[in-house]
Chains A and B, each alone.
Chain A
Amino acid sequence: MSKLDSKIPEGPLAEKWSKYKASMKLVSPLNKKKLDIIVVGTGIAGAPAAATLAELGYNVKSFCFQDTARRAHSVAAQGGINAAKNYKSDGDSVYRLFYDMIKGGDFRAREANVYRIAEVSNAIIDQLTAQGVPFAREYGGTLANRTFGGVQVSRTFYAQGQTGQQVLLGGYSALKRQVSLGKVKMYSRRQMLDLVIIDGKARGIITRNLVTGEIERHSAHAVVLATGGYGTIYYLSTLAVNSNGSAAWQAYKKGAFFGNPSFVQIHPTSIPVLNDYQCKLTLMSESLRNDGRIWVPKEKGDKRDPNIIPEDERDYFLERRYPAFGNLVPRDVASRAAKERCDAGFGVGKTGLAVYLDFRDSVKKQGEKAIKGKYGNLFDLYEKITGESPYKTPMMIYPAGHYTMGGLWVDYNLMTTIPGLFAIGEANFSDHGANRLGASSLMQGAGDGYCILPYTITNYLADEIKTKLPSTDTPEFEEAAKTAKERLDKFLSINGKQTATSFHKRLGHIMWNYCGMSRNEEGLKKALQMIDDLQKEFWSDLKIPGKVEELNQELEKASRIADFLELAKLMALDALNRKESCGAHFREESQTEGGEAQRIDSEYSYVAAWEYQGDNKEPKLHKEELKFENVEVKVRSYK
């Protein structure tokens, strides 16, 4: 059998999950107590997974690199979380949510997985509400909804512009409850350095205690990675600066396949780059496009104050190009349209790399108070950074690296190609195809953590009840710990002249220019060479102060950047391989006359799953064919 068995259950789409659940193997409560699970990451996938597994009775070890689980980067998600509740009676349904995601992902996601996440979406809202997550309410006391890009229904639940924070804190509180009950042991301030495999199965991890520098070993019956995405590879992105791809990358190097690594979402509405010192870009939620209108002047290089530019001299380019969805087209479409205008010389602001997001009409129509109620904290955030008030002057925005649809390849059980190693949330490649729709990352992360993994991991662990918790003194642990330590020592021994951050910045430039919003063969080949050169320079001229056995933030950075330098090559390679455009992956060679992404279904209707073959060796490409039995595959149009 091919290693790429997606294990999609038989039967009609709408019945697959329920029938499969009913046929899964179980583990008795007594046996659950004998089984240990490691969950790495405490975001919107990891915290719920750890909490729910503990509720079931397993012994959970939960890891995060932050000082506390509550700071995982899901905390920064702003706009909302989707569910097919159809509380608005506007024609929503599980099927509609499924279809929107499949289409939004440009027909590059697996039908069965996407349907399942849509199916469990309602239970997540129920659970979060029961946990006391203070979602926005109508005056009658029911939950409020709003609309996000790429859809024509209102299915997004929200808590002002801090939905991620509230949803994450729900998971965090569930986690803390299990800590208090002794079912979860927390390991904060730990960076995972390696995965340990014994007899072909994931059995543990190596971590570095970020306070003492100690290299630690942890064993378990199964390992779950909920370590998020790798968008910080661009250096400047909307992500928290310490977010990284290292855990997933180490798993890849231990044999887990990496799915669609080049599929990265560039978010259209971020505050533009303001200066050279910036180390991150701040997102302005997609929800703003409900009431904000995006435009540039019709005249090239028009430097007038936007407020005095008359209506007929403004080009509302999204409304012009996509009348059906207008300002609420999906993110990839909106990002490319903004880039197109800026590249053509119509961009605004000091750098010309920005477009306006204007609330003038909404403020006039609904009043400042109503707008404040919906977006108050986002407007404040914008004003704090730029010094300008969006109530009075249009926001300036530009696309920025945001979310990675790509990630570890997983089957229907959310298990990677390494038995016993699961990947959930953004860390897997699973549900968003080539483009993610707004407010579906919280949904997917929470769905994986609360609803799906607890079942599928049980199915796996049912065959492990006789396995004793592995000792951490085995040769496999010895070897992994030794290799991890040697690598850290090596960073310190280079003793060159350039800082870790300076390398990260340069890598970010390469990736943004050649493997960002727009890609072509020549650029990608050039990028591969440039990354190679940069990597050599990194390993010969890096400067890391201090020592391993202490809190050493520069060492932490170096370790992540070393991984990024390798991952960057895989991203470029994947982008080079996929000669079609699809979703966020835009190959300039494959576009329609109108400049829209052109898929080539006859050749690329597959998931690219890459297998590591050793350093400096070309990874091996495996293809998982995508079959669409429940939707008609067509040109994705938002016109």
Chain B
Amino acid sequence: MKIKLNIWKQENPKAKGKFVKYELDGVAEEMSFLEMLDSLNEKLIKEHQEPVAFEHDCREGICGSCGLYINGRPHGPGDEIGTCQLHMRAFREGDSITIEPWRAKGFPVIKDLIVDRNAFDKIMAAGGFISIDMGQAADANAILVSKEAADKAFDAAACIGCGACVAACKNSSAMLFVAAKVSQFALLPQGKIEAKRRALNMIAKMDELGFGSCTNTGACEAECPKGISIDYIAMLNREYLCASFSETE
């Protein structure tokens, strides 16, 4: 099939970006969306044009590298998929597809469709861990965890750090991302000791880095490629509230 593409091009973080139109023929419906972009780039290079820069790596929805805003939706049409798992069978002959980078204050554009998600690393460094040095751990079965709690913690931990939640949110909030990590640890006995500090510090870092507040719209949950529930935001709020009201450590 033949499609029309409308892609955000921006040379560097400081440059002024603009939409550029491309036409691409010979698109097969079993192609993945990123393979379609690969073939566009191969064509552009041969025609002595600049290829479109976009981020990608594992191409199976787990590394979280790819993240494109396609026709107004993070990761495009389809539920619980990363951009790399979107296939061209979701589109039709003659379709116009607009592709943008994540748009959020916390994620500045580096080039074309690539944004800087370093802010997530900073939030993680603020408390997204359990402080245990190598060699101190007791036998793994000394810590019993109910299957329900382990499963719930896993569902939260499945976050791939792609940033779709932020891109989908009208406030550019990173609450779902932070909630996933805080909840994973809050659900496990191992994480309880640092629970208060973790919730307070990660939220403070999120605010500091320019992410907005949560107004419970639920767009993050709808667009999360791993289907992470906003119930975890409720859990984060509880953790945060309890931590705020209790004595400082």
Q: Which residues of A contact B (CB under 8 A)?
A: 48, 51-52, 55, 66-71, 73, 75-76, 85, 87, 123, 125-143, 159-160, 162, 164-166, 169, 172-174, 176-177, 179-180, 186, 188, 211, 240-242, 274-275, 277-280, 282-283, 380-381, 384-385, 387, 450-451, 454, 497, 499, 501-502, 543, 545-546, 550-551, 553-554
Contact = CB atoms under 8 A, between A and B. Distances in A.
Interface string B5-32: 0000001100000000000000010110
16 contacts: A70-B64, A129-B143, A130-B140, A134-B154, A135-B140, A135-B150, A138-B147, A141-B145, A173-B128, A174-B129, A274-B30, A275-B28, A280-B60, A545-B45, A545-B48, A545-B49
B160 interface: yes
Contacts of B138: 126, 130
A130 B59 contact: no
Contacts of A131: 129-130, 132, 190
A594 to B, nearest CB: 36
Nearest to B34: A279
Contact of B140 (A85, A176, A543): A85
A278 B35 contact: yes
Nearest to B136: A130
B92 interface: no
Contact of A545 (B12, B50, B87): B50
B211 interface: no
Given A68-B161, A240-B58, A279-B35, A177 B125 contact: yes
Contact of A384 (B63, B65, B81): B81
Contacts of B28: 275, 277
Given A132-B188, A277-B38, A454 B134 contact: yes
Nearest to A377: B158
A132 B191 contact: yes
A132 B31 contact: no
Contacts of A123: 135, 137
B124 A173 contact: yes
A160 B150 CA distance: 11
A545 B125 CA distance: 37
B130 A130 contact: yes
Contacts of B143: 129-130
Given A134-B188, A454-B134, A499 B45 contact: yes
B39 A277 contact: yes
Nearest to A501: B42
B31 A275 contact: yes
A125, A137, A282, A283 pick with most chain B CB within 10 angstroms? A137
Contacts, number: 216
B134 A450 contact: yes
Interface string B30-64: 11000110110010011011110101111111111
A12 to B, nearest CB: 24
Contacts of B80: 380
B126 interface: yes
B29 to A, nearest CB: 10
Given A66-B65, A165-B158, A499-B42, A387 B184 contact: no
Contacts of A52: 133-134
Chain B: number of interface residues, binned into ranges: 35 or more
Contacts of B160: 165
A137 B145 contact: yes
B229 to A, nearest CB: 15
Contacts of B31: 275, 277
A543 B59 CA distance: 25
A71 B45 CA distance: 28
A73, A159, A172, A277 pick with most chain B CB within 10 angstroms? A277
B131 interface: yes
A315 to B, nearest CB: 29
Given A142-B144, A173-B130, A176-B129, A130 B190 contact: yes
A128 B137 CA distance: 9
B237 interface: no
A82 to B, nearest CB: 13
A159 B62 CA distance: 14
B110 A543 contact: no
Contact of B121 (A159, A176, A274, A381): A176
A126 B141 CA distance: 8
A70 B150 CA distance: 21
A169 B157 contact: yes
B215 interface: no
B90 to A, nearest CB: 11
A186 B35 contact: no
Interface string B62-96: 11110000000000000011000101010000000
